């Protein structure tokens, strides 16, 4: 818990760096998967590939403000679109988390890497065998955030500890536990994928909408999850990384990258549990964010601001219990928050008190409003924007997407793309 009541800490509370990873599928004019090779410079670190050869991933640089992060995300999105306009056969960047038409498994092209990077293709082939290619066609956004060095240095001084590296690692481990506990709220505010094409579920059946009661398909039971509920040890960084290594050693997953967990701690540079242990925690990653097709960058700037506010609020809050029971309930709540009508599904808690996800979201956001009001932070507009999503379902992205694109999800999606992109 940050010493936020101390003036020197409050002065640096909003100092931090944020980066955004955004996936998106390249599609043909008819709404099918593009099968052309990755058309971007392999040396371009801002535009790479994810699972599919046609699954473009944008990686922004770490930026100090939501405005700058959003501006860069939009800039690289436009770069991708401009390249696709110049393709011999025009392609489009699909703006939805849920995939377009799918012929069959072979229609989903695994990313092809050459030379020393060929192991990346081999890893994707392993994932395809284990989870099926269909699941890998879901696209989303990861939000990465690091707290400022000056903030952590001042808080370290106030903590009375004598090892800054140990302090910093402990800070991020505790934050990861809190973020996991509250991850359901991240899903609830960002859910934007209520519709799937029938071809996702039945080979050869195109053009029929499937609505399965979910606001976020990729965060629901059919989305990105392992075959088991991972349990991590949040005692300290050594215990945290050891618990991931235990999952690998038990052959439940091949590597830490296969841990489909809503929240990750990451080192600077390449991610692995070994690098995390050796180099320490550098930032936290929130992974369960849907693409917002209603925003030209794929993510509303107010959602970027909200994620920063949430992490600041959690870093200043009393730690929650993170035993095995709590972790299982946290995963259940993340999946519950993927539902379409959050007034009909309850938050799973130890208290036994019934509280809908919608009511719990309003309660937490109101607590955040009070917290930031005491800090004299001018953020109430952002928090009210999120609050309204839970008092009126018509303010939720999932409701808007369902309302706009029902009756031919992919067909209407392509019409929308062509109108927007020209």
Question: pLDDT (tens digit, 9 = 90+) per residue, 66-104?
Answer: 999 999 999 999 999 999 999 999 999 999 999 999 999
206, exposed or middle or buried, with CB in 10 Å at 0-12, 13-18, 19+?
A: middle
DSSP code for 215:
S
Tens digits of residue pLDDT in 244-290 = 999 999 999 999 999 999 999 999 888 888 899 999 999 999 999 99
pTM, entire model: 0.97
- 242 in Cβ contact with 233 (< 8 Å): yes
> What local confidence, expressed as pLDDT, does residue 270 receive?
84
Task: Classify burial at 265, counting beta carbons within 10 Å of its beta carbon; exposed 0-12, middle 13-18, buried 19 or more.
Answer: buried
Q: Which domains does the chain have, with CATH numbers?
A: 7-319+397-421 (3.30.590.20)
* 9 Cα distance to chain centroid: 28
Q: Are the CB atoms for 345 and 360 separated by under 8 Å?
A: no
Q: How far apart are CA 157 and CA 161, in angstroms?
A: 7
Q: Which is it for the CA torsion 194, 258, 289, 327, positive or negative?
A: positive
Instruction: Please list the rounded mean pLDDT of every run of 10 residues in the chain (422 residues).
Output: 95 97 98 97 96 97 98 98 96 98 95 92 95 96 97 97 96 97 98 98 94 97 93 96 95 92 92 89 97 98 98 95 92 97 93 90 98 97 98 98 98 96 76
């Amino acid at each position: 818990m940050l010493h936020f009541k101390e003036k020197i800490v409050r002065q640096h509370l909003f100092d931090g760096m944020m980066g955004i990873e955004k996936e998106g599928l390249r599609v043909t004019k008819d709404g099918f998967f593009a099968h052309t090779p990755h058309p971007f410079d392999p040396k371009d670190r801002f535009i790479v590939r994810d699972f599919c050869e046609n699954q473009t991933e944008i990686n922004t640089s770490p930026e100090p403000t939501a405005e700058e992060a959003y501006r860069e995300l939009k800039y690289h999105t436009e770069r991708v679109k401009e390249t696709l306009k110049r393709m011999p056969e025009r392609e489009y960047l699909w703006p939805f988390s849920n995939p377009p038409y799918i012929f069959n498994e072979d229609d989903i092209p695994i990313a092809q890497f050459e030379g020393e990077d060929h192991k990346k293709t081999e890893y994707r082939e392993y994932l395809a065998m284990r989870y099926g290619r269909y699941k890998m066609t879901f696209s989303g956004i990861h939000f990465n955030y690091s707290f400022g060095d000056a903030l952590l240095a001042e808080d370290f001084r106030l903590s009375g500890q004598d090892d800054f590296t140990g302090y910093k690692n402990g800070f991020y481990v505790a934050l990861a536990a809190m973020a996991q506990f509250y991850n359901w709220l991240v899903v609830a505010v960002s859910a934007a994928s209520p519709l799937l094409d029938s071809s996702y579920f039945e080979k050869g059946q195109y053009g029929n909408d499937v609505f399965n009661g979910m606001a976020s398909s990729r965060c629901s039971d059919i989305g990105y999850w392992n075959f088991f509920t991972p349990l991590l040890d949040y005692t300290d960084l050594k215990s945290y990384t050891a618990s991931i290594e235990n999952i690998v050693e038990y052959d439940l997953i091949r590597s830490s990258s296969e841990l489909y967990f809503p929240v990750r701690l990451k080192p600077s540079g390449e991610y692995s549990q070994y690098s995390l242990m050796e180099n320490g925690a550098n930032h936290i990653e929130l992974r369960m964010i849907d693409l917002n097709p209603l925003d030209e960058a794929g993510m509303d700037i107010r959602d970027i601001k909200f994620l920063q506010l949430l992490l600041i609020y959690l870093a200043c809050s009393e730690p929650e219990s993170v035993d095995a029971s709590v972790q299982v309930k946290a995963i259940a709540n993340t999946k519950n928050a993927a539902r379409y009508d959050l007034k009909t599904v309850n938050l799973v808690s130890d208290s036994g008190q019934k509280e809908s996800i919608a009511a719990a979201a309003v309660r937490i956001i109101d607590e955040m409003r009070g917290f930031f009001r005491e800090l004299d932070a001018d953020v109430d507009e952002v928090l009210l924007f999120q609050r309204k999503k839970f008092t009126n379902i018509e303010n939720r992205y999932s409701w808007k997407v369902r309302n706009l694109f029902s009756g031919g999800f992919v067909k209407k999606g392509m019409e929308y793309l062509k109108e927007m992109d020209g």
